[in-house]
């Protein structure tokens, strides 16, 4: 029974170590929760005097780890939302250049650079934004070459505003 207690204490120490490691990803923590649970339940009985306390410690560690997973997932969702908003703003700024009497090349280059450093996981939203950005870039390039403004893909017929676009993207992303 004493060996079983030591095994459970080792699991608790390992979970504590994972929690102290600030570079652990949400998936790594979830994997550790699963493996710890499996190992925990395979260990036999321990001395009764320590049973309640070690079980309590284990459950608290699991709860803390789950809270950490939730926090990391929320941070990832916020980052994704911020990236979507940034890309929408870049598209709108680029499209607004089309209404200008002349287009400043440095401004276009800055917007293209901002686009390239703003990351977004592959999704329907990112594909739609990429198409809109590419269309705006093509239209700006054609205007800079004294070509027709018609190169831009048509803005949605309802003349979507930034808020309409954001609302649609929030629905797609499942953001409340």
Closest CA to 37 of 19, 55, 17: 55
- What are the b/e assignments for 19-53, b being 16+ CB within 10 Å? beeeebebeebbebbeebeeebeeeeebeeeeeee
Q: Which comes out higher in pLDDT, residue 70 or 135?
A: 70
Would you state the pLDDT for residue 147? 41
Tokens representing 151 are 């190169």
DSSP string across 78-143? HHHHHHHHHHHHHHHHHHHHTTSSS--HHHHHHHHHHHHHS---SSHHHHHHHHHHHHHHHHHHHH
Find the angle CA(118)-CA(124)-CA(129) to the nearest 5 degrees: 45
Could you give the CA distance from residue 125 to residue 131 in angstroms, rounded to a whole number?
10
pLDDT range class, residue 168, cuts 50, 70, 90: low
Q: What confidence tens digit (pLDDT) does each residue in 3-42 have?
A: 999 999 999 999 999 999 888 899 999 999 999 999 999 9
Q: Please say if the pLDDT value at position 148 is more than 50.
A: no
Q: Please say if the pLDDT value at position 162 is more than 70.
A: no
- The most confident of the ranges 75-79, 102-106, 116-120, 146-150 is 75-79
Length of the chain (residues)? 176
pLDDT range class, residue 120, cuts 50, 70, 90: confident
Asked if 73 contacts 112 with a C-beta cutoff of 8 angstroms, the reply is: no
Evaluate if pTM is beyond 0.85. no
């Amino acid at each position: 029974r004493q060996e079983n207690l030591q095994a459970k204490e080792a699991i608790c120490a390992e979970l504590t170590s994972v929690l102290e490691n600030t570079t652990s990803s949400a998936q790594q923590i979830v994997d550790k929760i699963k493996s710890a649970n499996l190992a925990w339940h395979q260990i036999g009985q321990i001395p009764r005097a320590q049973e309640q306390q070690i079980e309590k410690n284990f459950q608290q560690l699991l709860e803390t780890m789950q809270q950490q997973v939730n926090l990391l997932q929320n941070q990832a969702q916020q980052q994704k939302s911020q990236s979507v908003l940034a890309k929408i703003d870049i598209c709108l700024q680029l499209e607004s250049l089309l209404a200008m009497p002349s287009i400043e090349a440095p401004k276009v280059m800055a917007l293209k650079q901002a686009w390239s450093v703003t990351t977004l996981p592959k999704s329907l939203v990112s594909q739609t934004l990429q198409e809109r950005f590419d269309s705006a870039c093509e239209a700006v390039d054609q205007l800079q070459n004294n070509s027709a403004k018609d190169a831009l893909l048509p803005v949605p017929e309802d003349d979507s505003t930034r808020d309409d676009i954001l609302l649609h993207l929030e629905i797609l992303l499942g953001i409340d």
